[in-house]
Amino acid sequence: MVKGIAIGMSHVVIPIFQYEIIPARRRGRILSLYILATSIGNLLIYSLPMIAMKVLGNVQYLRLHWLVDLLPLSLATIAVLFFPESPKWLASNNEWENAADILESIETANSEKSVRSKSKHERKRLGDKHYVVKRYSNTASVRSCSMNALFGRKYIREVCTGVLLQLTIDITSVTKLLDSLHSICIACQVKTLSEIRIVQEFDLIMRYLFILAPMMVIDLLRRKDVLVFGMTVDTLLMSIYAIIFLGFSGEANQATHFNLDIDWGLSVELYKECASIILALTVLMDIVFHSLVLPVCWLYILEIFSSSTRSKGWIVISSLHWLFECSLSLIFPFLLSNLNGWLFLILALILLSGTLAISQMKETRGKSSVSSIFSSSRFSSEKN
């Protein structure tokens, strides 16, 4: 319960905090950095018990595992104390001078003298209030709307767009496939716990390494193009996945499942010639999803909301995301055990449908407000 509450709250707060405090030209990179940090944390929390158990012994480690968890948590807690407050939050509470000070220090950090001078001149010319408002909104206010207003006629379109995009990414079930890596390893005849741990650790290392590359260019690319590219690649990989499972597998050895205490899992076993291909495809799907699809999906959702709806809209979407993830976690093992390769074919069709749907969305890069996206769309249709 403690970890669930903490993860849920951090998932809501961190992307919003990053979006509000990071200059627009670096937001994609920083959201990718959040995914990267999560991957490093997963790798650490997966590797640490194996190391600690050898040093402390299994029984002693079980007594001290909370202490091991507290070490990185304590460092993070101390680090947070040195973070500046979000300028948008300060502005929404009428602390305009403090908001302008923090915003100016962020935007001029590591900049040349001419850039710092230009920022100071602009702040002096506009005044603290308009200096902050100019960066967060195209209106005269940066205050957030109420939760009731969020579902009103004025904002419902952006809420529905964000919710549908997040649920589309969730329903592709790439994360659930990765959660089932243990069962996939068994189907690929990787049958000892030590070998399965090596495969899982290799997957986490590859995810960490390949997130680094897109981070450098993600802010230069159109959001929709990256999403369509990532979804297309995952569609192709999942299609190959389904073909191999349907055409090159036989009945599983139930004794293996019993020995490893597997209640739910694939009831087929791949031929040895294809086992390595399946493991490679699983890692590739993980890399594409976490390095391209997920960070750009979150960036697109944050950009499609207007300044007044962004924080509450993200809360609603995050809540629905975790609810849907929880439901999938309960359903997916049952589907995997009963449908086997046919489940991967269904997921390939879902990925294809999601790719086609995303290709019809409007671009958000360089747009200051969702209203400008929708208004430009209406203007084009009226003109035609």
Looking at the DSSP bridge assignments, the partners of residue 270 are 249
Q: What pLDDT score was predicted for residue 125?
A: 85
The pLDDT value given to residue 228: 94
DSSP secondary-structure letter at 276? H
The answer to whether domain 147-367 has CATH 1.20.1250.20 is yes
The residue among 229, 235, 223 whose CA lies nearest residue 31 is: 223
Task: Output the pLDDT for position 366.
Answer: 66
The pLDDT assigned to 238 comes to 94
Tokens found for residue 256: 């293996």
pTM flag (> 0.85) = no
Domain ranges for the chain, please list them: 87-136, 147-367
pLDDT score of 263: 53
Cα atoms found within 13 Å of the Cα of residue 225, Cβ hemisphere only: 7
> So what's the pLDDT on residue 235?
95
- Token pair belonging to 10: 């951090």
Return the pLDDT at 231. Answer: 94
Residue 137 pLDDT:
61
pLDDT averaged over 10-residue windows placed end to end, the chain, 384 residues: 82 84 75 78 74 72 73 84 86 85 79 77 83 68 75 85 92 88 86 82 82 75 90 95 88 55 68 86 91 87 83 88 89 87 93 93 67 41 43
* Amino acid 259: pLDDT: 44
Q: What is the pLDDT of residue 379?
A: 37
Rounded distance between C-alpha atoms, residue 52 and residue 59, angstroms: 11
How far apart CA 15 and CA 28 sit, in angstroms, is: 11
CB 231 within 8 A of CB 355: yes
What's residue 237's pLDDT?
A: 94
> Percent helix, strand and coil across the chain, each rounded to 5?
80, 0, 20
How many C-beta atoms lie closer than 10 Å to residue 335's C-beta?
Answer: 17
Q: What is the pLDDT of residue 43?
A: 74
